[in-house]
Amino acid sequence: MKNLKTIALALFVAVSALATAQSKKIDVKKSTIHWVGKKVTGQHEGTVAFKEGNLIFKGKKLTGGSFVVDMTSLTSTDITGEYLGKLNGHLKSEDFFGTEKFPTSKLVFKSIGDKGNGVYSVTADLTIKDVTAPVKFEITVTGSTAKANVSIDRTKYGIKYGSGSFFDNLGDKTINDQFDLAVTLEFQ
């Protein structure tokens, strides 16, 4: 009988905790992802859009989140004309993100540590090209905005084109394995 009461109390606490969690959808038109990819001779930068996403809060405390990114929206913003078309085409090709076969990427928060003052340390699962690997970053929540800077090792997702970690004698054609994302989430 004591075990039954313990189980009932645990279920009540779990249901109560779930009931207080609130999912807040991001505004995909106002939320942004700015990317920067570097190579020996310079860098390129651009944007990619969210398809959907939400943050989960208990009261004012961030407790979860998940996002889907529309990889077909990937574009460079630092060049124009013919070179823009060539770079965008190459980034969307199998050499990089293979957007025809893999039109979305996904990020799911797995654990969150509260560092105080609206800053959280996050470990999440990132899926690119159907390969999932963990990423760690900090996210800062202020009002109805959250911001994070995320550095991603593309080779963990099978994106090895131009990587000095996998190919010799690339010289000035070497592309850094890491690319950086500056993310701003607007939610309601």
* Nearest C-alpha neighbor of 128 from the set 146, 108, 112: 108
Q: Which homologous superfamily is 21-186 in?
A: Lipid/polyisoprenoid-binding, YceI-like (2.40.128.110)
Average pLDDT, the chain: 90
pLDDT given at position 40: 83
Cα separation, 123 vs 134, whole angstroms: 7
Residue predicted with more confidence, 5 or 53? 53
Annotate 155-178 with DSSP letters as a single string.
GGGT--TTBTTT-SS-GGG-EEEE
Mean pLDDT of 28-40: 95
Mean pLDDT of 110-131: 98
Q: Hey, where are the domains in the chain?
A: 21-186
Does residue 184 register a pLDDT over 70? yes
Give the pLDDT band of residue 17 (cuts 50, 70, 90): very low
* Nearest C-alpha neighbor of 118 from the set 180, 59, 67, 35: 59
pLDDT given at position 7: 57
Q: What is the pLDDT of residues 47-71, one digit of tens each?
A: 999 999 999 999 999 999 999 999 9
